Every structure is written in structure tokens, then in C-alpha cells.
Homo-oligomer: A and B are copies of this chain.
């Protein structure tokens, strides 16, 4: 059942002993939501704890400072920024059936909770947690503000992307009235790169292929290449590569071909406004968003490229 912020706030006030679930491969928004909501509930005198199937990256460990670790038997499960119970990862089996309240901002989702608060126009689910705190009239503190700010900034590429709204900036302004090292956090979240990541990017740029008058840039992350770097980079670094080809001036289609098994490749497509990446990937039974989509292809790398390239070239031919 769909509910609004007011009702969600009333419910959170009514119940107790909360277990808050983040999605697997956690990002700044799902973690920011979880720790902020947990901190807010604890400030209300309730018991609350957070759980995620996967480990929190080192550079996001500061988020946990917003809460006090509490041991208790949970009674009420809330999920944050989870669009589908499968995205709970290993926690789906244990808790996927029992989610009481889902708080989310994804436009396309499958319902799994008893009650759902979803606002697809919110840039980050953290915007909803902020609104819930306002509705509950619970003042934040510096650590909770840092959590909510992290969700806002990570889901919008630090206020860069098209999902950013006036409301996002308004909330950021309110959060910045608290004291937390936002510039240091942004440096860590957006600017800092490990030496391993730089070496990976070097390799990626060296092997980048260009087609259609440099309007298509294609990167192949083969098992061999990933193996070579696996000691010095993490999964997030490999995922981050998908954004690189499209950042090159003049490139309309940035494509990353990532080898999953000997003959299985995951394709990630990023596009300019001129091309619908989702429609393009649908031709290969994939999908996603207009500017970022994906699909899976089987065959050798050469076979996969031979399937992909004519479709990409055709999209370029028809885009002007």
C-alpha cells in the first residue's frame, strides 16, 4: 500500500525496535538513509539498528558514526532505497518477506513491503528521510546531517546530474547549517583515486576503441585485464570504468564490454541526449534508463563486438 511522508512519519512514531535494511552493493544513498533514519529513531528514544548484505566501503565508514550500536530483537523492518526485494542480496531470503515499510525514490520498482513511501521525483531517498525528520519534528545533529548530505551528493554526482532539483539544493542548504566536513567528504567521494584505479584507467584508455568518427568509444574489460588489476582495485573501481568512454569530447555513445565468463559479456551503454540507450539495449533484450542502459551478450569478444557495432553505428547514423 502506497503512503505519503506524513503517514510514514506517523508509523515510525508508533512502532519500535527497528531493523533498517540497505540494498546490497551499498552506495551513499542507501547507507546515508539507513544511518540517518536509525540515528533519528534513536533520538526519539527508540531502538534501531542497520543491516546490509555487503560490506561498507572504507570511505563510507564515517556514516556509522551517526548511530549507537544497539543489540535487541527487532520487531519492525524498514528498507531504504531498495527498489526490489532481490536487491537486498543475501538478506532477501531472511527478511525480504517481512518488510513493513519501504522508503524509496525509484520510478520503476516491484512492491514487496506492507507499506511503501516512494517519490520518484526525489533525487535521493535521503530527501525523504529529511522530510520524515521534519514531519516528526526531530532536530538532526551533525552526524545525521552528514549522512543525509552524503545520500544527496552521491546520487546526484555532487549536484551535477539531471535528477538534481531545486528541492535537492534547498535540503543541502539546510543540512549545511550543521557542522560536518562536506568538502573533505566530497573530496573522498568524488575526487580521490587509488594508484590502482589510475593504473586501471591508464590501461583502459590505452585499449579504448573508437568508431563512427569518434562518436562511439568502446572499452573492453576482459577477464585477463581485470585479473591483472584485481590485486589493487575493488569492484567499485571496475564499475566506475563504465562512465569513462562517454566523458570524452564528441563521444555520443560510450560502451563498456565487461567479460563475465569465457563467452558471456555484460554491455553497459551511456549515451548523449541524442540517443536512447534503453531502446538500443532493448534490441538485445536489455534495458535501463534513457542515458544509461545495459544488456548481456554471448559469444567470443569478436562475435559480441560484431553483433553490437552495427546497431551502435546505426544509432549514430540516425541521431542527427
Contacts and interface: CB of A to CB of B under 8 A. Distances in A.
B158 A159 contact: yes
Stoichiometry, copies per complex: 2
A189 to B, nearest CB: 9
Interface in A172-217: 172-174, 176-177, 182-184, 186-187, 190-195, 198, 202, 205-206, 214
Given A176-B166, A202-B206, A192 B249 contact: yes
Contacts of A206: 202
Contacts of A186: 157, 160-161
A210 B183 CA distance: 25
A302 interface: no
A7 interface: no
A32 B173 CA distance: 22
Given A184-B273, A202-B205, A247-B192, A158 B158 contact: yes
Given A169-B169, A169-B173, A193-B248, A182 B164 contact: yes
Interface residues of A, number: 38
A173 B183 contact: no
A314 interface: no
Nearest to A187: B160
Given A192-B247, A248-B193, A248-B194, A165 B160 contact: no
Contact of A160 (B183, B198, B248): B183
Given A170-B170, A183-B160, A198 B248 contact: yes
A202 to B, nearest CB: 6
A174 B168 CA distance: 11
Nearest to A198: B205
B176 A169 contact: yes
Contacts of A176: 164-166, 169
A14 interface: no
Interface string A228-247: 00000000000000000001
A155 B209 CA distance: 34
Contacts of A187: 160
A318 interface: no
A224 B38 CA distance: 57
24 contacts: A158-B159, A158-B160, A159-B159, A159-B172, A160-B183, A160-B186, A160-B187, A160-B190, A161-B183, A162-B183, A164-B176, A164-B182, A165-B176, A166-B172, A166-B173, A166-B176, A168-B173, A169-B169, A169-B172, A169-B173, A194-B249, A195-B249, A202-B202, A202-B206
Interface of A: 157-162, 164-170, 172-174, 176-177, 182-184, 186-187, 190-195, 198, 202, 205-206, 214, 247-249, 273
Please give me the 5 A-B residue pairs with the lowest Cβ-Cβ distance, nearest first: A162-B183, A169-B173, A160-B186, A166-B173, A169-B172
